[in-house]
Amino acid sequence: MKIVGFTIIKDALLNDYPVVEAINSILPVVDEMLVSVGQSDDDTLQLIQAIDSPKIRIVESTWDMTLRQGGKVLAVETDKAYRQLPADADWVFYIQGDEVLHEQYHAVVRHSCKMYVGDPNVEGLLFNYLHFYGTYDYMGDSRTWYRREVRIIRNDPAISAFRDAQGFRKGKTKLKVKPSGAAIYHYGWVKSPTQMKKKMKNVGRFWKDEQAWQELLQSGDFFDFTQFDSLTRFAESHPKVMQERIARQDWKVEMDLNRKKFDLKDRLLYWFEKKTGRRLFEFRNYRQI
């Protein structure tokens, strides 16, 4: 059984992506790792080249910045990288530049891959998600955040990235998946208020038309982290690869965990989910079998 990892990245330093941590977090799981580095306005290429691992292969790419709708350029670049993976790979582990796999799941993920590698009906493996917000102490626990997504897929040319590469499809068909037994830690919303707004302005071009993007660029330089609907405190351990980054945190944001900002419908759905563990009317970009 062969597992190959891959990711795409551009302007990692400007946008403060924990991409080195993301890559290092799955290196113990994969046999090879492809990193597609987009032409950047910082030293992203040198950052990736400095990772000391013989498993890593770097390719360079020029992103089409005219692709502005719905994050399409991210899907295009994800597919470009996916098509450059070795043909002998059984499974492909896709990790985004702000996602990290906790070391407690390394053996779990390899076990799941081995369990299903001989079952062609299983097209992918599903991961739970922890979405951190503001600081490393808080997580989103509302319907704003997706609970699960596919991060390991078959090495199949019929599979491609869906929408902004949040997940994958086989043509227009949702992938048939099994649970991986593991979780992805998502740190995309953990930055200082100024760095968060800077990132939003930089990447806004991937989703907004020119007028909307220019309006975003003219907005303030400080992101207001108090504009959330519901958060909970995180009391467990973060991945080891994140410890140095966490120690460098130089900002503080206090959140009121008692605050729940819902309309009546979402308040009832939130209450039901907390009581039963079920999320009604949930969008699922996969078919669990």
pLDDT tens, the chain, 289 aa long: 999 999 999 999 999 999 999 999 999 999 999 999 999 999 999 999 999 999 999 999 999 988 878 899 999 999 999 999 999 999 999 999 999 999 999 999 999 999 999 999 999 999 999 999 999 999 999 999 999 999 999 999 999 999 999 999 999 999 999 999 999 999 999 999 999 999 999 999 898 888 988 999 999 999 999 989 999 999 999 999 999 999 999 999 989 999 999 999 999 999 999 999 999 989 999 999 9
Strands lying side by side in the sheet with 173-174: 159-162, 167-170, 173-174
Query: The domain that contains 9 carries what CATH number?
Result: 3.90.550
pTM summary value: 0.96
Helical packing angle, 193-203 and 210-217, nearest 10°: 160
| Amino acid 67: pLDDT | 87
Cα atoms in the Cβ-side hemisphere of radius 13 Å centred on 275: 7
| Amino acid 15: pLDDT | 98
Residues 6+ apart with CB under 8 A from 130: 139, 183, 184, 185, 186, 234
Signed CA dihedral, 66, 72, 74, 79: sign only: negative
With 0-12 CB in 10 A as exposed, 13-18 as middle and 19+ as buried, what is 120? exposed
| Amino acid 257: pLDDT | 95
| Amino acid 208: pLDDT | 86
How many domains does the chain contain in total?
1
| Amino acid 8: pLDDT | 99
Structural domain including 46 reads 1-289
| Amino acid 69: pLDDT | 81
Give the CA dihedral 154, 155, 156, 157, nearest 10 degrees.
150
With 0-12 CB in 10 A as exposed, 13-18 as middle and 19+ as buried, what is 250? exposed
Number of H helices, E strands in the chain: 8, 14
